[in-house]
Structure 1
Amino acid sequence: MMQQGKAAQAYDEIERLIVFQELAPGTLVSEAVLMEKTGLGRTPVREALQQLARNRLIEIHPNKGVLIPPASVEAQLRMLELRRVLEALAVRLACHAATDADQIPMREMIELLHADRFTLRQYLETVKETHQMIVAAAHNEYLADAMAPLQGLSRRFWITHVRDEQAEISHGAGLHAGILRAILDRDPEAAEKASHALNDYLVQFAYSTISLHVGPA
């Protein structure tokens, strides 16, 4: 049990290094370096790397190291197709299944999101916490396993390409607050609509990173 806890800690630490580009795209890094950066042993780091590879955040190359692959617009758009469906399901389930205990941190998070005083790092940590609240309120562990890597990939792409930080943070915070409000109102239609609005924003953001719109093949 303790080892599982350490592996989860290693996963969170390495994911954070990737999302915030302390491990830049294209970087080839060794297990030893990751052990030093996380302060954790070889076994939890190795277990975390296996999960990160399954979640497409890294590529493991035996005898060479761990590659941090670049994030492409095409891959981001394909990922968002899946996230759109799963996140809509998550918010609908949360509307029905959220307990009083689930709702308390949601109310606190709405107040925080409206405060609008975030650094980029604080905002992304808040977004991650918001997603975790929603999935936890859905009370479906399989959904939690499916959603976590999609959201990690999404955060990584966003921070790689964001330019007007405060404008994007303000807009994104409002979209996340709208989802939480709908869940608190136990309104699944409004929650799904708010979820789709967030996904539409992320799709538009992805397209904004390229100079020419790529049409269907």
Structure 2
Amino acid sequence: MTEIGKAAQAYRDIERMVVFGQIEPGSLVSESFLMEQTGLGRTPVREALQRLSRNRMVEIHPNKGVLIPSTSVEAQLRMLELRRVLEALAVRLACERAVPADRVGMEEMVERLEHGGFDLKGYAETVRGTHDLIVAGAHNEYLADAMAPLQGLSRRFWFTHVTDVDTEIKAGATLHVAILRAILGRDPDAAEAAALDLNDYLVDFAYGTLSPRGRRR
């Protein structure tokens, strides 16, 4: 594996640990701890941490360690305000620009999402994969850079707070399928509407973490 590949693997491994709470929010960890957990060397772990820091998944404190920040509803809602706009743009561009290879990946993802039977970690990979396919299909590297932290933070909040796993996975999978099907149909209006439906769901989910009656009506 190349150094670039090792850094990408370190990023995925550490992000997964943060998303699933394998490292407690509010805790400080060392580079050596993360090297041990990932089985990777100092350079790829350090590069991964720099990227994770830019994406607000961790905070690097020199001479102290790496802090895993806590999540909050307020931060999630502010993030979703921005994601709402950028994701609508991403799906519209994907309708116009997705090439055959992109579309094959989307068709395979639709089949996977509709087949279901996910556990949380399996669903996490499909959500990440769906987002990656949409952003790749938009063919705009600046949009990809802007979307990555928003989607990562959104996933982290959802997986931190989900309780009714089967119900929420079914709801999320249905919403992601609607987006992908609209892109495959090259229908930008339907794709944007489906993306906004997903955002509304995530906003309602965030409010729902405040109390059993917290969801917006």
Q: Structure 2 length normalisation: TM-score? A: 0.95
SS of equivalent residue, structure 1 residue 66:
strand
Superposed counterparts of 1:14-163, under 5 Å: 14-163=14-163
Per-residue deviation, 1:3: 2.2
**How many residues end up aligned between the 2 structures?**
214
Structure 2 unaligned spans of 5+? none
**What are the superposed Cα offsets for residues 24-78 of structure 1, whole Å, 9 maximum, x if unpaired?**
2111100000001111111111111111111111111111110101000000001
What residue in structure 2 maps to residue 189 of structure 1? 189
Residue type matched to 1:194 in 2?
Answer: A
Distance in 2 of aligned mates of 1:68 and 1:30: 11
Residue type matched to 2:161 in 1?
Answer: H
SS of equivalent residue, structure 1 residue 105:
helix
In structure 2, relative to structure 1, the CA distance for the partners of 1:212 and 1:107 (3 Å cut) is closer
Residue type matched to 1:20 in 2?
Answer: F
Distance in 2 of aligned mates of 1:63 and 1:111: 48
What residue in structure 2 maps to residue 201 of structure 1? 201
Structure 1 unaligned spans of 5+? none
What residue in structure 2 maps to residue 174 of structure 1? 174
Distance in 2 of aligned mates of 1:210 and 1:204: 10
Distance in 1 of aligned mates of 2:42 and 2:123: 31
Q: Percent of pairs identical after alignment? A: 69
Per-residue deviation, 1:163: 0.7
